[in-house]
């Protein structure tokens, strides 16, 4: 069974205080790992896709990295508008594109 564990569950940061979010996964062959941002009451908003260990992707203050067992989402000098829940999801090779999500990392950035 595909398992995705995200830590920490919740994180409060001062504006400008960089940090990292962790996503550990167990999957029977990884097709892709996805990071989404979710605001309260809204749908997941796509951020990054990572396909192989060693890959990195960057967008503004966010950087995602991937190893064979985990992924990190680094938030550099966060701003209050980065406050959201960040969702990690894996897509196994043995499925027809289904995504298995973690519970998310809830981030609050305080001005």
Site residues for another protein per CB under 8 A: 31-32, 34, 36, 41-46, 49, 51, 87, 89, 91, 95-104
Closest separation between CB of residue 2 and another protein, Å?
Answer: 10
CB-nearer residue toward another protein: 18 or 98: 98
| CA–CA gap between residue 2 and residue 61 (Å, rounded) | 29
| CA–CA gap between residue 74 and residue 62 (Å, rounded) | 6
CB-nearer residue toward another protein: 29 or 111: 29
Helices (H), the chain: none
Closest separation between CB of residue 17 and another protein, Å?
Answer: 26
CB-nearer residue toward another protein: 1 or 81: 1
Tally Cβ neighbours within 10 Å of residue 6: 23
């Amino acid at each position: 069974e595909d398992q995705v564990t995200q830590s920490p569950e919740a994180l409060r940061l001062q504006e400008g205080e960089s940090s990292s979010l962790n996503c550990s996964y167990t999957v029977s062959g990884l097709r892709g790992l996805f990071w989404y941002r979710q605001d309260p009451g809204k749908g997941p908003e796509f951020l990054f896709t990572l396909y192989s260990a060693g890959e990195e992707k960057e967008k503004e203050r966010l950087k995602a990295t991937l190893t064979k067992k985990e992924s990190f989402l680094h938030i550099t000098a966060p701003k209050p508008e980065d406050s959201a829940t960040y969702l990690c999801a894996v897509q196994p090779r043995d499925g027809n594109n289904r995504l298995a999500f973690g519970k998310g990392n809830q981030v609050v950035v305080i001005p």
